[in-house]
Amino acid sequence: MQSPLFSHTEQQSQDRYTVQNPQLLRVALTGHDDVLARKGAMVAYQGLMDFDGEYQNQSQRTARANTGEGLDLMRCSGQGTVYLANLAQYVHVVEVDQDGLTVDSAYVLALDSALHTEVIAVDSQYGISGSGKYQLNISGRGQVALMTSGRPLMLPVTPDRYVNVDADAIVAWSSSLRVQMQAQTHASNIRRRRGSTGEGWELNFLGQGFALVQPSEVMPPQGAQIGQGVAAQFGVGQHGAHGQNQNNAWN
């Protein structure tokens, strides 16, 4: 049998995480600690592997119930190689250091089991309860695999160059950055979208670090659940995962 398909063979690497192709991640477990992956993300594996649901403690369950932010993970362990993907989204491996990484949990594919995660809040400039956005802070030392809808843009943030990003397009940023939700509108019109432009909430970043943006403002294909505290009041965008149910309120 002959076909160009046979050119898509396994990428040989000694690295723990290898981007097999732009939309498929290869994780080597032999000689490494367990990896935590998004539930249902396994598409293939080789060797003797075990997959178990990851336990969530009471504080994690409470944060998930109150904010909608959190991770549904499975623990991958054993001796072998596992391949992970999620609806053909683009995969990117990020090294987490002492500065930490803040990310929308909808875009996490996998992470080292040694990393620590915590739900944090981003307040709006108007100080209105419920009009902020919740994100996931990842700290420690290790690697995390992120997903984007399309090829992303990495924007540097410096003390003399701040960055504004649509709240539906942001994927992750350096935890050391100062961030605030804002809308280019008067406080009296906070519940209205920005005129007829279709633009709404955005995040303002200041400090030293980076902001990762995807070329999409649509709901992530995995269909992240909407929490009660994130955008249940005003939402964070017209098309995003946290704004799908808010369009009628702004009309």
103-118: pLDDT as tens digits: 988 899 999 999 998 8
Q: List the one residue out of 62, 60, 63 whose CA is nearest residue 36.
A: 60
pLDDT over 60 at 240, yes or no: no
**Strands laid side by side in the 101-103 sheet:** 116-122, 133-139, 101-103, 170-174, 209-213, 153-157
Across the chain, mean pLDDT equals: 76
For 25-67, give the DSSP string: EEEE-TTS--EEEETT-EEEEEEEEEEEEPP--HHHHHHHHHH
d(CA 31, CA 237): 44
Nearest to 68 by CA among 196, 235, 242, 226: 226
What percent of the chain is modeled with pLDDT above 90?
A: 42
Q: Residue 7: is its pLDDT beyond 90?
A: no
Tokens 């192709």 correspond to 21
Q: Residue 155: enclosing H or E segment and its boundaries?
A: strand 153-157
Q: 10-28: per-residue pLDDT in tens?
A: 877 788 999 999 999 999 9
The answer to whether the pTM exceeds 0.85 is no
Q: How confident is the model at residue 199 (pLDDT cuts 50, 70, 90)?
A: low
Instruction: Answer with the residue of higher pLDDT: 236 or 162.
Output: 162
Q: Return the pLDDT at 119.
A: 82
Which pLDDT does position 78 carry in this prediction? 92
Give the up-direction half-sphere exposure of residue 86: CA atoms within 13 A in the CB hemisphere.
25
pLDDT digits (tens, 9 = 90+) for 19-65: 999 999 999 998 888 999 999 999 999 999 999 886 666 665 665 66
**pLDDT score of 184:** 56
What is the per-residue pLDDT across 118-175, written as a single tens digit (0 to 9) for each? Answer: 888 776 444 444 444 678 899 999 999 999 999 999 999 999 998 999 888 999 999 9
CB 167 within 8 A of CB 201: yes
Tens of pLDDT along 75-101?
999 999 999 999 999 999 999 988 899
